[in-house]
Structure 1
Amino acid sequence: MLIDSATRDQLQEWEKELSAQYQRICQHQLNLDITRGKPSADQLHLADGLDGILNGDYRAADGTDTRNYGGLDGLTCARELGADILQVPSDEVIAGGNSSLTLMYHAVLTGYLFGFAGNTPWRELQSPKFLCPVPGYDRHFSICEQLGIGMVNVPMTEQGPDMDAAEALVRDDSDIIGIWCVPKFSNPTGVTYGKETVDRLARLGQVANPGFRIFWDNAYAIHDLEQQVNLPGIRAATLENDTADSVIQFASTSKVTHAGAGVAFVSASPANLASLRRQMQAMTIGPDKVNQLRHSRLFAEFTMLREHMQKHARILKPKFACVSDHLETAFGESDLGTWATPRGGYFVSFDTRAGCAAEVIRLAAEAGVKLTPAGATFPYGKDPEDRNIRIAPSFPPLEELDTAMSVFVLCVKLATVRKQLETL
């Protein structure tokens, strides 16, 4: 199906055929959901060994009784687990509760209210802003929006954020105080940042506001589907450029063990960690060390964690293949949309023709398939071209995903044909 070369008669015939198919599907009253990247029950079962793993032995290797108060930085063994995931020294890691999003919110709030490492609090700037590579992660944008921090779109390329644009913006506006990054299998595009991109990000601290921070959300650091994809280390790059204070890294086991009962990690320079600790001392008496110990016992060696992630990959690969097969069959020879096939992570990013995404999502919803809201992958929920749709294949059973994708491709075709007819 080539839209640009189709005649009005051809488009009208397609619209009639597609509408009939759509009406037949609507009669089935489906109730399918591919909105968020939640692990499936099969994936969650992989970590059920956490239950009872302590067998009444609550003491960590260093003698800490994990049932009691204290230990703001988390257990040493948990920090070592986070260090393995992020590839950083364990003394630069704090192990927290179950959510890296909580740690990110805490870090943004610290910068906003108090400033990092003695720098001016962001709230005292005239118009504090974050750079937001787009399409990106909606929950990052929500943090900024809630605190009134402005957001500036930066296009994503196949190597990461458009660094020409990012560097120009940082040089020209000292009120830019951060950038959100999902550097490996980026949400939703699946892009892994290249070495040049990482090196240029590390140099931003040389020209930016001294309080500028890179929020390095490495959520999919170990979520490879097949062969391991190597992400250049941001810490090493900042050390080479004397900008170590400019980056704060995050990771968690949310999509590794039990999503609602994992362990989150933040890694940063000593100065940044000191800033975070000052606020943490007022808000907590320490994390859930019992859960941290459970995870450390389950993954006593990093090789055990790698083997565990290979089990995840075996569950996820058929689902990503299902999405890819549907998109390739429906659009491989057409001009109706573009997408990339990710090598890991949790999402597939699909771009419709301009002005069609919201209508695709509306049609899918009426047919019983829920998708992430239109515009969700852009700040303020506003996709300027109304093109991007995030597909999350992980949660539903494969049979349901197959049905959902059949509906999805039909809705893309119908919405696109109708849009083209409007222009003629």
Structure 2
Amino acid sequence: MTRDQIQALLDEQTAAYRALQDSGLKLDLTRGKPSPAQLDLSNELLTLPGDDYTDAQGTDTRNYGGLNGLLELREIFAPIMQVPVEQVVAGDNASLAMMHDNLVFALFHGVPGSEQPWGVEESVKFVCPVPGYDRHFALLEEYGIEMVPVALNEDGPDMDAVREAVKDPAVKGMWLVPTYGNPTGAVVSEAVAAELAALDTAAPDFRIFWDNAYAVHHLTEEQTKTADILGLCVASGHPDRAVIFASTSKITFAGAGVSFMGSSADNIRWYLSHLGKRTIGPDKVNQLRHARYLGSTAGVHALMDRHREILAPKFEAVVRILRERLGEYGVASWTEPKGGYFVSLDVVDGTASRVIELTREAGVAMTPAGAAFPYGDDPRDRNIRIAPSYPSPEELTIAIDVLATSVLIAAAEQALG
């Protein structure tokens, strides 16, 4: 476009933006929260477990104990996690709490295979594929663990960069969301997973924190299968390397679900030995009602089909509006995920912060620019995470229109200098 054409575009979009500002919007796309319609799918949980509080083993779930969680619920989720049921722990509502505990226990005690607690090492580092999940990065920052960013490709992390990073003995682990990664929707391929499992690392106690948060969160009828990281690690001679996390947070009630951890038998014994000092047991009544409501692994998939009916049209609307509003200008690219909870948008380098400022001033709250990078620092200031799940379809359409308008304004401003 000529300079005059860009100025005309800026004038046009600024006028549209002011009209949107004047409409008094108050919309929130900051986090991947299930919508009320999705939460309503599981309202039957509120009537369970009824008057029978006894699990399949005859245990009164209202009482203390059962540190590793209810067997009948673990049997439902073990196939999803691809972990033997006896190597699965069911916890309370947040898998993030299990990740936190694993980090803290490792810092204070080391893990199986450690020569000493991680916390007494000169430094501790984690490999962090980017764009990635901001809460993972926040956990590391909270405890002074240095983050080593590597690019996340469509089939997983850049393995050349990973191989280089793990030559450092201070690198004790890495994060990965293997299926429908947050925020790009990337899926770690079987080949990349096998390479991660067999990786020659300087640290003998290297861990992969495999956060399989979206294993069953498909947006199409194609149900992408997650690589069997635990089996691959066992086969490669590193049985303790993988620690797998999952939860029902975006399956049933986000604030009242159940979390899961799966790993080697040694890792599970290690985890429970320290967990037992923090708690006498999880909320087994909640676990029992989940087991009765879901019924089976097939029941989980059937419920997720109903979630897909609500979510898929929203993701289709986001992609359609971005294509219609931005496609002809070459100022942005975006992912079209087959599952998960986010669309990742890349705008003109150096403009993401300005875009977020514009959306906020128009009444649309979005995740801060750079949130998908360690320390909130996107070196190119271009990545924006879109969370389409919570707003109504009508609200979402308006919000993405505001976003597209803001992208065009920021791009035009930069082009005009």
TM-score range, shorter chain: over 0.9
Partner of 2:127: 131
Partner of 1:157: 153
1:221-232 map, 5 Å: 221-226=215-220, 227-232=222-227
In 2, Cα distance between equivalents of 1:87 and 1:237: 11
User: Which of 91, 94, 119 is 1:99 aligned to?
Assistant: 94
Partner of 2:266: 271
Shift of 1:334: 2.8
Q: What's the % identity of the aligned pairs?
A: 47
Partner of 1:148: 144
Is the Cα contact below 8 Å between 1:188 and 1:347 reproduced in 2? yes
User: Which of 206, 220, 231 is 2:214 aligned to?
Assistant: 220
Partner of 1:321: 316
In 1, Cα distance between equivalents of 2:101 and 2:147: 18
Shift of 1:381: 0.6
Does residue 7 in structure 1 map to residue 2 in structure 2? yes
1:68-87 map, 5 Å: 68-87=63-82
Aligned residue pairs total 415
Partner of 2:108: 113
Is the Cα contact below 8 Å between 1:132 and 1:179 reproduced in 2? yes
What one-letter code is carried by the residue in structure 1 that aligns with 2:144?
A: G
1:176-195 map, 5 Å: 176-195=171-190
- SS of the aligned residue for 1:304 comes to helix
User: Which of 38, 62, 65 is 1:67 aligned to?
Assistant: 62
What one-letter code is carried by the residue in structure 1 that aligns with 2:245?
A: F
Q: More deviation in 74-83 or 390-399?
A: 74-83
Shift of 1:118: 4.7
User: Which of 382, 385, 400 is 1:387 aligned to?
Assistant: 382
Instruction: Give CA-to-partner distance per residue, 1:104-134, whole Å, 9 cap, x none.
Output: 0001111111110151221122121001000
In 1, Cα distance between equivalents of 2:189 and 2:113: 32
Is the Cα contact below 8 Å between 2:175 and 2:211 reproduced in 1? yes
In 1, Cα distance between equivalents of 2:139 and 2:171: 16
In 2, Cα distance between equivalents of 1:285 and 1:390: 38
TM-score computed with the length of structure 2 as normaliser: 0.98
Shift of 1:84: 2.5
In 2, Cα distance between equivalents of 1:221 and 1:357: 30
Shift of 1:218: 0.2
Is the Cα contact below 8 Å between 1:82 and 1:95 reproduced in 2? no
Is the Cα contact below 8 Å between 1:219 and 1:250 reproduced in 2? yes
Is the Cα contact below 8 Å between 1:110 and 1:275 reproduced in 2? no
Partner of 1:3: none
- SS of the aligned residue for 2:360 comes to helix
1:31-42 map, 5 Å: 31-42=26-37
What one-letter code is carried by the residue in structure 2 that aligns with 1:215?
A: F
In 2, Cα distance between equivalents of 1:78 and 1:26: 49
Instruction: Give CA-to-partner distance per residue, 1:237-281, whole Å, 9 cap, x none.
Output: 111101111110000000000111100000011111122112111
Partner of 1:199: 194
For the aligned residues, what is the CA RMSD?
1.0
Structure 1: 5+ residue stretches without partners: 1-5
What one-letter code is carried by the residue in structure 1 that aligns with 2:134?
A: D
Partner of 1:169: 165
Shift of 1:331: 2.4
Partner of 1:55: 50
In 1, Cα distance between equivalents of 2:38 and 2:3: 48
Structure 2: 5+ residue stretches without partners: none
- SS of the aligned residue for 1:394 comes to coil
Instruction: Give CA-to-partner distance per residue, 1:160-215, whole Å, 9 cap, x none.
Output: 110111011102x11001100000000000011111110111112x3230121100
What one-letter code is carried by the residue in structure 2 that aligns with 1:157?
A: N
Partner of 2:348: 353
Displaced runs of 4+ in structure 1, greater than 3 A? none
What one-letter code is carried by the residue in structure 2 that aligns with 1:8?
A: R
What one-letter code is carried by the residue in structure 1 that aligns with 2:159?
A: M
Shift of 1:75: 1.0
- SS of the aligned residue for 1:133 comes to strand
1:283-362 map, 5 Å: 283-362=278-357
